[in-house]
Amino acid sequence: MAQRPDTVTEGLEVTREVRIEASPETVFPFFTEPNKLMRWMGVEAELDPQPGGIYRVHVSKDWVACGEFVTVEPFVRVAFTWGWENNVMQLPPGASLIEVTLTPDGDATVVTLRHSRLPDEESVASHTDGWEHFLARLSVAAAGGDPGPDPWASGGTQ
Amino acid sequence: MEAALKAIAEPRRRAILQLVHHAERTAGDIAEHFEVTRPAVSQHLRVLKEAGLVTERRDGTRRWYRARPETIRDLQRFLEDFWDEGLERLKAAAEWEERRKRRGAKT
């Protein structure tokens, strides 16, 4: 049964949680091995899962997420920095932090993904084009261009 | 997000959105900026409102419109959708992998 991930949002970070009917040993490589990562995100991935190693994923043709691994603790946690290469949404490569924690729960694993160090109101306000930029991206998508990441085009990459 | 996309696919609606981004305006005021009829502007505003892109405030017989200004909330919402959909696919892929492993272990 598919279940919606729980929603917890606090301040300038995003925390998502999902329970997966699989062991942490099965789930973990989906964050560190390109072939497995691409089964749920992206069309191309370059991963060097060790502290300081590269994390670069073509989420779609034009959207490239880039950062580096910070923590790699097999089957327990993995953390990496994250941003967009073309600096959309005021989020340049490596700007934000993603921490993934795997917690065993019986035969299942609870995956908690925390996306923090997101830009605050002040830093966005200092970029007067912030909102307009975001709007422009939406417009491109609406006009039939590559809409970028999956949320705008459910059902995978284009 | 999809409703928002559809809403701003129309250039006039994008222009209206820009207009009410920094200031709250009435439908009449908005109409004066464009060579379109009041009903046409009202129709555009309705679409924008339903997509959650503008808020409407009633003041007597007048209605005031303003864009939701929260860039941060847009970014957060975007990332929430992004990770929700990603984690749903992760769940499907990992559970499929687990079943494959367990079948393999039995034989």
Is there a contact between A18 and B88 if contact means CB atoms under 8 Å apart? yes
User: Which positions in chain A touch B83 (Cβ < 8 Å)?
Assistant: 5, 14, 16, 113, 115
Of A119, A131, A143, the CB nearest to B9: A143
Contacts of B104 in chain A (CB under 8 A): none
Q: Which residues of B touch A150 (CB under 8 A)?
A: 82, 85-86
* Selection from A114, A150, A147 nearest residue A40 by Cα: A150
Residue in B9, B17, B86 closest to A40 by CB = B86
Is residue A22 predicted with pLDDT exceeding 80?
Answer: yes
Pairing of strands A77-82, A64-73: antiparallel
Q: What is the pLDDT of residues B52-107, one digit of tens each?
A: 888 899 988 889 998 876 555 666 777 788 889 899 999 999 999 999 999 987 66
In DSSP notation, B7-71 reads HHTSHHHHHHHHHTTSS-EEHHHHHHTTTS-HHHHHHHHHHHHHTTSEEEEEETTEEEEEE---H
Per-residue pLDDT tens over the stretch A108-131 = 999 999 988 877 655 555 444 444
CA distance A89 to A14: 15
B12: closest chain A residue by CA? A139
Say yes or no to pLDDT of A8 above 60: no
Q: What is the pLDDT of residues A31-73, one digit of tens each?
A: 999 999 999 998 999 999 999 999 999 987 777 889 999 999 9
8-state DSSP, A89: G
B-chain residues near A137 (CB < 8 A): none
